[in-house]
Amino acid sequence: MTNKEKALKLINEYLAKQEPQKVELALVDDIETLFDDVMKQNNKIESLAKELRSVAVKTAVKIEKMRKLRTQVETKAKELGVDVDTIIAGAMFSRTNNIMKAIDKIKTLRAFI
């Protein structure tokens, strides 16, 4: 075998070893692309979670105002001897209690993101 043939053989062996590296680099590129997409989606999730938490806090404040007003109405009604429609009020406050439970879950959501 001549020196030229030996050199070609070594070059071919070297190039044969390089092919898998090219494939591996392409896989790394794919992972980087996917990671970039995941980070963009994560930013959206964080933004939406922040907005959701803000709305939840505002809603909770309004519910607390409702509760205070309910107490005032009940007190005034008792003073006047008037019967407040407890069925409707009870239904409303049952709903708002469920909303407050959901709001409490939303408030903790931000801690996980």
Confidence of residue 16 (pLDDT cuts 50, 70, 90): confident
Is a pLDDT exceeding 80 seen at residue 35?
Answer: yes
This model's pTM is above 0.85: no
Provide the pLDDT for residue 112: 62
Provide the pLDDT for residue 46: 87
Check the CA dihedral 15-16-22-24 and report its sign.
Answer: negative
CA–CA distance from 23 to each of 19, 37, 99, 105 (Å)? 7, 21, 53, 46
Provide the pLDDT for residue 40: 95
Whether residue 56 contacts residue 105, with contact meaning beta carbons closer than 8 Å, is answered with no
pLDDT tens by residue, 50-102: 899 899 999 999 999 988 888 888 888 888 887 777 666 777 888 888 898 88
Mean local confidence (pLDDT), 3-32: 76
Beta strands in the chain (DSSP E): none
Is a pLDDT exceeding 70 seen at residue 23?
Answer: no
Average pLDDT of every residue of the chain: 82
